[in-house]
Every structure is written in C-alpha cells, then in structure tokens.
Amino acid sequence: RKEVEQDPGPFNVPEGATVAFNCTYSNSASQSFFWYRQDCRKEPKLLMSVYSSGNEDGRFTAQLNRASQYISLLIRDSKLSDSATYLCVVNDYDDYKLSFGAGTTVTVRA
C-alpha cells in the first residue's frame, strides 16, 4: 500500500465551478501536511500547508481529518490558471521525510 494515495482524476470542470478532491495517508504518526501544485513540465511548488483546524487561502480550502487519515482540497470559482496537477504531501516529522502522492490532475475549461 502506498503511503499517500490520491484520485488521479482528471477532473475536467468549467470556469467558475467548484472542484474538490481528497488524498489518504497510511502513517497515523504523520505530523504535517501540504498541497503542492505542479504545472506541466514544471517543478512542484507549495500551494498551502494544511492545518488541523482547516484553512483557507483565497479560493482554496484545505481540510485535515486525522481520524480517517485524509486531506482534502477544494477550489472555488475555478480559473483557467488553476489547471495543474495537485500533489498531496505528508511529512513524517521524526525523520523529515516527505511522501508525495501521485497527484490529481485538474483541467479548467473556458
């Protein structure tokens, strides 16, 4: 079983739509969580950290459910520029190891 699993998508949505997707992680001792964004043929870039209480950054909302060991990302009012692959990242704080999911691809169409 992979440490971090994501629905690969793709999620094809029209501009202005809301899209949400989850990722699950296997290590219950994981300490911190992130969403990274990766554009086609580019490097991953931090989108946002995920806090236990949930957090928003503009149109993006991240939630953490420790009991069920999943993280979610919701994008409101989708823009064409949101088209990318979103990587779920889990940090085992003890050894500073980041485990990456394979990514969820989102395509926003005009």
Partner 1 sequence: EAGVVQSPRYKIIEKKQPVAFWCNPISGHNTLYWYRQNLGQGPELLIRYENEEAVDDSQLPKDRFSAERLKGVDSTLKIQPAELGDSAVYLCASSLRSVGNIQYFGAGTRLSVL
Which residues in this chain contact partner 1 in the complex, by CB under 8 A? Answer: 4, 8, 32, 34, 41-46, 49, 87, 91, 93, 95-98, 100-103
Helix/strand/coil (H/E/C) assignment for every residue in the chain: CCCEEECCCCEEEECCCCEEEEEEECCCCCCEEEEEEECCCCCCEEEEEECCCCEEECCEEEEEECCCCEEEEEECCCCHHHCEEEEEEEEECCCCEEEECCCEEEEEEC
In the complex, minimum distance from the CB of residue 70 to partner 1, in angstroms, rounded to a whole number: 16
In the complex, minimum distance from the CB of residue 31 to partner 1, in angstroms, rounded to a whole number: 9
In the complex, minimum distance from the CB of residue 79 to partner 1, in angstroms, rounded to a whole number: 23
